[in-house]
């Protein structure tokens, strides 16, 4: 059996027993049963069985999951009959797993090959033992710091002894007792000096030993991603084959090393994301051909590590997130109010954040792949527990992209401590872009909100200045000013930047972040707690969640581009950006090639709704829109009307370019505010370029 297969089966053996035991304990405890938790267990068990290619176990787990789903949605009660059915299903899963692990018949003794002297010997190490070793190493690190402090004390005592010796010598005392004291002081001084030298040598040796121990601990506690994710490409192909979806799977970066506990904790979440990519990325062959896509769905998983963080990106070239369905699902679950007629649509960022809420799904129905809306919520919960972040974005020009980022290690991390109204809070230093101390008179006002002009990657960016206390409490507050200056932390989320104003920047040090359960706190913003010496615990905050909260609360400012910065990968800053909106891939490609040949930066949208979401999200600053009229979901007239009715977008020029040459249509477009109307029947690229040149 290949090593990776053996490792996957060993991991599943432990995992499936844990899930079965947890479900049995839950239903045996009586009283209120957390049906969502037992559903999550069953759901994860099914996915794990699929990952290691145990179809019999997966089939039983699927039946278990379906029953748990009925309990969760209230369509079935947890009575004695249901408990009996549950126990039978649990036994069936266990029996199927045992059958899968039944060892083959032993080979004759003569056929057993001798073990080579140089054979590698493998041992299984308990995860808790590794965690204990890691904690011991951290304690030893603290001892080394204390050791340095003792050295300083010894040097101070030696200096004091020398001073006393000089004083006794200056007295020129002739008494025998004085000579004895003088000699004793000399001996003491000599002994202290020798002790100090020995302590320095011992400290050096201790530091060397600590360095060696740290390396060995990391070698034990870290593992390549392949040990956990190595079988996932095969799993995706199996899932897609069963669903009748032709697929190409590309997996990169499996050599990346990270804490074993982190990788194991991400096993189920990553599995959910891959299943989701197949489920929501599948399209009919006709739809893919019409969009100009390859025949086979492409699913990409890329693992990487940088700046102390593990990054897992999963992307597909399917249809991408259905924002309309997502909004409807969020409204149905009570996560947002129903939109009134004529009201502006929520930003894509706001809608895509709801995809991680429990029970929210855009699937057409329930099947073995998706439909219950629990997969992404499981992923979000796992990311939160690991003090990581999760982002879902629409691909360009199509598809979906999910980025999951967590610390490489589940142990200590470097934290920036800040003071907020007399209490300390902590932010992971890796999530902080820059520390700021600004003259209060340099703050500007944008639509009634404080902001600061900050140089970011060579550009001046107007960044919102937000009191951190206001984000945490939801209560409006003034930007704290002390001695005429504002202290702030600059956070970045993609190309968005927000400066969080605090009372003081206190310290940067390494500390353990512990889980925190408190009903009165905003769990979306808080990653845990840090215990401080002789002080109340400090809240550990999630930097990405703080930026997302500002985007949610200040959607109008975000749509206007506040805090948005171009990256080095973007086109030259002198190039103007044009958004081409057309449901025909041929037309989009033609217009894109014409405009790029003239030096414009071109973005694409497949219909009016896609374009409006892009414009309002602030993902890019668009200088002009060229839109078709006949499009699904939202036509060009509706897009034009929405743009001109939005104060943040009204100044953006819109050119309608369509095959509808009727005079009434031309008049309607111009009445709605279009700056130009060009018909495709007599399309001349010079006319389009001339119109754009006049408007820009």
Please spell the DSSP secondary structure of 660-695, one letter per residue.
---HHHHHHHHHTT-SEEEESTT--HHHHHHHHHHH
Given a cut of 50, the residues of the chain with pLDDT beneath it are 1-2, 104-123, 366, 371-373, 567-573
All structural domains of the chain with their residue ranges: 3-102, 141-223, 226-407, 416-559, 577-695
Residue whose token pair is 């690229």: 685
- Write down the pLDDT at residue 110: 38
Give the tokens for residue 265. 């904790």
Please spell the DSSP secondary structure of 52-74, one letter per residue.
TT-HHHHHHHHHHHHHHHHHHTT
CA-CA distance, 187 to 76, in Å (whole number)? 86
- Write down the pLDDT at residue 319: 85
- Write down the pLDDT at residue 31: 64
Please spell the DSSP secondary structure of 542-586, one letter per residue.
-HHHHHHHHHHHTHHHHHTTTTB---TTSPPTTSPEEEEE-S-HH
Instruction: Please report how many Cα atoms fall inside a 13 Å half-sphere around the Cα of residue 512, on the Cβ side.
Output: 12
pTM: 0.47
Q: 374, 314, 322: which is closest to 348 by C-alpha?
A: 322
Give the tokens for residue 55. 């179809």
Cα-based angle 554, 496, 450 (whole degrees, multiple of 5)? 50
The CATH homologous superfamily to which domain 577-695 belongs is Response regulator (3.40.50.2300)
Q: Are 276 and 370 in contact (CB under 8 A)?
A: yes
- Write down the pLDDT at residue 146: 56
- Write down the pLDDT at residue 501: 94
- Write down the pLDDT at residue 569: 43
Three-state secondary structure call for residue 120 = coil
CA-CA distance, 551 to 623, in Å (whole number)? 22
Architecture of domain 226-407: 2-Layer Sandwich (3.30)
Beta strands in 473-518 (DSSP E): 485-493, 496-502, 504-511
Architecture of domain 416-559: Beta Barrel (2.40)
Domain 3-102 bears CATH identifier 3.40.50.970: no
CA-CA distance, 198 to 348, in Å (whole number)? 65
CA-CA distance, 64 to 39, in Å (whole number)? 8
- Write down the pLDDT at residue 115: 39
- Write down the pLDDT at residue 302: 93
């Amino acid at each position: 059996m290949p090593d990776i297969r053996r490792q996957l089966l060993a991991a599943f053996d432990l995992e499936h027993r844990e899930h079965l035991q947890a479900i049995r304990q839950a239903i045996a405890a009586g009283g209120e049963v957390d049906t969502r938790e037992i559903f999550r267990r069953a759901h994860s068990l099914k996915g794990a069985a699929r990952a290691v290619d145990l179809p019999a176990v997966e089939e039983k787990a699927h039946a278990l999951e379906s029953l748990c789903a009925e309990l969760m949605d209230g369509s079935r009660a947890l009575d004695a009959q249901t408990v009996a059915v549950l126990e039978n299903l649990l036994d069936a899963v266990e029996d199927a797993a045992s059958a899968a692990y039944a060892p083959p018949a032993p080979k004759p003794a003569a056929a057993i090959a001798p073990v080579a002297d140089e054979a590698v010997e493998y041992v299984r190490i308990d995860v808790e033992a590794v965690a204990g070793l890691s904690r011991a190493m951290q304690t030893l690190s603290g001892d080394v710091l204390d050791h340095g402090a003792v050295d300083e004390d010894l040097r101070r005592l030696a200096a004091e002894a020398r001073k006393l010796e000089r004083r006794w010598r200056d007295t020129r005392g002739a008494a025998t007792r004085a000579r004895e004291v003088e000699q004793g002081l000399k001996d003491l001084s000599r002994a202290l000096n020798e002790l100090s030298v020995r302590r320095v040598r011992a400290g050096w040796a201790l530091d060397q030993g600590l360095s060696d121990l740290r390396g060995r601990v990391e070698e034990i506690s870290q593992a390549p991603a392949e040990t956990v994710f190595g079988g996932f490409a095969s799993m995706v192909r199996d899932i897609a084959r069963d669903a009748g979806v032709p697929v190409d799977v590309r997996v990169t970066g499996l050599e990346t090393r990270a804490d074993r506990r982190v990788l194991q904790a991400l096993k189920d979440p990553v599995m959910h994301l891959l299943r989701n990519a197949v489920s929501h990325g599948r399209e009919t062959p006709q739809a893919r051909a019409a969009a100009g896509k390859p025949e086979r769905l492409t699913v990409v998983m890329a693992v990487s590590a940088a700046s102390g963080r593990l990054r897992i990106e999963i992307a597909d070239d399917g249809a991408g997130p259905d924002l309309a369905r997502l909004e409807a699902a969020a409204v149905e679950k009570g996560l947002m109010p129903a939109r009134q007629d004529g009201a502006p649509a929520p930003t894509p960022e706001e809608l895509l954040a709801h995809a991680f809420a429990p029970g929210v799904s855009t699937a057409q129905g329930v099947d073995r792949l998706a439909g219950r809306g629990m997969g992404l919520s499981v992923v979000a919960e796992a990311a939160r527990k690991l003090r990581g972040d999760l982002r879902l974005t629409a691909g360009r020009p199509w598809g979906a992209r999910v980025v999951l980022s967590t610390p490489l290690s589940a142990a200590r991390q470097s934290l920036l401590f800040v003071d907020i109204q007399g209490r300390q809070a902590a932010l992971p230093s890796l999530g902080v872009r820059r520390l700021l101390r600004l003259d209060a008179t340099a703050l500007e006002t944008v639509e009634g909100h404080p902001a600061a002009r900050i140089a970011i990657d060579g550009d001046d960016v107007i960044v919102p200045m937000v009191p951190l206390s206001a984000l945490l409490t939801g209560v409006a507050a003034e930007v704290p000013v002390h001695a005429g200056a504002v202290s702030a932390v600059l956070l970045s989320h993609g190309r968005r930047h927000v400066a969080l104003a605090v009372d003081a920047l206190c310290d940067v040090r390494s500390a353990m972040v512990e889980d925190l359960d408190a009903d009165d706190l905003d769990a979306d913003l808080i990653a845990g707690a840090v215990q401080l010496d002789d002080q109340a615990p400090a809240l550990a905050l999630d930097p990405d969640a703080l930026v997302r909260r500002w985007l949610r609360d200040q959607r109008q400012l975000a749509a206007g581009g506040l805090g948005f910065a171009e990256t080095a990968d973007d086109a030259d800053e002198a190039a103007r950006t044009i958004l081409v909106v057309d449901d025909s891939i041929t037309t989009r490609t033609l217009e894109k090639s014409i405009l790029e040949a003239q030096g414009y930066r071109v973005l694409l949208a497949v219909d009016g709704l896609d374009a409006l979401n892009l414009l309002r999200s602030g993902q890019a600053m668009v200088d002009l829109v060229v839109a078709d009229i006949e499009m699904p979901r939202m036509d060009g007239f509706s897009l034009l009307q929405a743009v001109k009715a939005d104060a943040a977008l009204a100044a953006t020029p819109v050119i309608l370019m369509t095959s509808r040459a009727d005079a009434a249509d031309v008049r309607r477009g111009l009445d709605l505010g279009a700056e130009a109307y060009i018909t495709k029947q007599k399309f001349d690229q010079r006319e389009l370029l001339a119109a754009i040149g006049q408007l820009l």
